[in-house]
């Protein structure tokens, strides 16, 4: 087959091979430029300009970040333990303390933390005065008797 090719056919074959090699060369050049770009990005943070130095710097930074993350984790645990004692559950009940008073101006508010410790505030509104009472709460119960409205506010707070 090779002996039967005419000179112009040889030129066509060589042009085809040259075209394939040129495309392959372009592809390799593109890959090389892409590699160089990645290499420069890798060595950007390296002062020494070597791969070994870049890896050392990266490892040092990762170690620093792990220490910072651990410190933040400890701080988060401390904050979470503090929030257990913050008032988180609230129950509010407005009511009419006396039959001749309208507008539900009296109230009972229960403010307790995650463990059921806190306070119940009651405000009783009459025509002449407003009285406010505070009763301590421990474990969702009180050593002082709670009115029906105060118990309702405490149940509402516990349900939240």
pLDDT in tens, 61-117: 999 999 999 999 999 999 988 888 888 999 999 999 888 878 888 999 999 998 899
What's the chain's Rg over C-alpha atoms?
Answer: 40
**Cβ atoms of residues 91 and 158 within 8 Å:** yes
Q: Measured between alpha carbons, how far is residue 109 from residues 88, 89, 99, 119, 142 in Å?
A: 13, 10, 21, 8, 14
45 pLDDT band (50/70/90 cuts)? Answer: low
| Residue keyed to tokens 């090719």 | 5
Rounded-to-integer distance, Cα 147 and Cα 128, Å: 22
pLDDT value for 99: 83
pLDDT value for 121: 97
Beta 118-125 vs 130-137: how paired, if at all?
antiparallel
Q: How remote is the C-alpha of 82 from its chain's centroid?
A: 19
pLDDT value for 91: 95
Q: What is the dihedral of CA 109, 113, 114, 116, to 10 degrees?
A: -60
Token pair in block for residue 32: 């090389």
Q: Which of 6, 29, 27 is nearest to 14 (CA)?
A: 6
Token pair in block for residue 105: 């101006």
SS3 136: strand
Q: How remote is the C-alpha of 38 from its chain's centroid?
A: 32
1 pLDDT band (50/70/90 cuts)? Answer: low
118 pLDDT band (50/70/90 cuts)? Answer: very high
What does DSSP assign to residue 145?
P
pLDDT value for 108: 97
């Amino acid at each position: 087959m090779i002996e039967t090719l005419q000179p112009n056919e040889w030129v066509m074959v060589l042009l085809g091979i040259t075209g394939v090699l040129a495309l392959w060369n372009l592809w390799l050049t593109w890959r090389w430029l892409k590699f160089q770009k990645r290499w420069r990005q890798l060595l950007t943070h390296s002062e020494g300009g070597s791969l070994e130095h870049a890896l050392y710097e990266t490892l040092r930074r990762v170690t620093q970040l792990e220490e910072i993350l651990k410190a933040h984790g400890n701080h988060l645990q401390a904050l979470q333990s503090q929030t257990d004692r913050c008032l988180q559950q609230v129950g509010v009940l407005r009511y009419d303390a006396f039959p001749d008073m309208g507008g539900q101006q009296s109230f009972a508010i229960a403010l307790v933390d995650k463990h059921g410790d806190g306070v119940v505030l009651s405000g009783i509104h009459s025509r002449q005065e407003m009285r406010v009472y505070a009763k301590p709460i421990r474990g969702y119960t009180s050593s002082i008797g709670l009115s029906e409205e105060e118990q309702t506010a405490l149940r509402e707070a516990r349900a939240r």
